[in-house]
Amino acid sequence: MDSIQAFFAGERQDLDGLILPAQEGAAWNVLYPEHAVVIPRPEIHRPVGLAVRRNDWEWVRLLDRFLDFEEMDGTLQQLSEYWVEGDGTKDQKPRWCVLRDVLHWVP
């Protein structure tokens, strides 16, 4: 396939679907909302990469450490659940509020 956009633009009628990382699929879904992201169960974990200029080892080490910290505190998992898996679309109970919960001025 020449480009991922060719699939979404309908230039590849011979394809029924496209396998991408969920994060990338979610980004394409913003541009092409008629398509959907499907996360297989059980989840399939595959290594992914990030393009970095050749021999830019300082940048690579910085990115590695940044991702280590984000993974250690659970931020990567939380962001994935919210933005990719759809937790951000679930109805949530309103936060506690003095006007609503104590004074009952707001429904």
Q: What is the per-residue pLDDT across 86-105, written as a single tens digit (0 to 9) for each? A: 777 777 788 899 998 999 89
Q: Which pTM value belongs to this model?
A: 0.39
Measured between alpha carbons, how far is 56 from 71 in angstroms, rounded to an integer?
23
State the pLDDT at residue 58: 92
Measured between alpha carbons, how far is 93 from 61 in angstroms, rounded to an integer?
41
Is the same domain home to 88 and 39? no
CB neighbour list of residue 12: distance below 8 Å, 6 or more residues apart: 1, 6
103 DSSP 8-state letter: S
Per-residue pLDDT tens for 49-78? 667 888 899 988 988 898 888 889 888 888
Is the same domain home to 36 and 69? no
**Average pLDDT of 78-82?**
81
The type of residue at 53 is R
Is the same domain home to 21 and 68? no
Is the pLDDT reported for residue 9 higher than 70? yes
Is the pLDDT reported for residue 47 higher than 60? no
**Burial zone of 40 (CB within 10 Å; 0-12 exposed, 13-18 middle, 19+ buried):** exposed
The dihedral built from the CA positions of residue 40, 80, 32 and 53, taken in this order, carries a sign that is negative
* Residue ending a domain, choose from 29, 48, 67: 48
* Residue ending a domain, choose from 32, 48, 64: 48
Is the same domain home to 36 and 67? no
Q: What domain range is 101 assigned to? A: 51-107
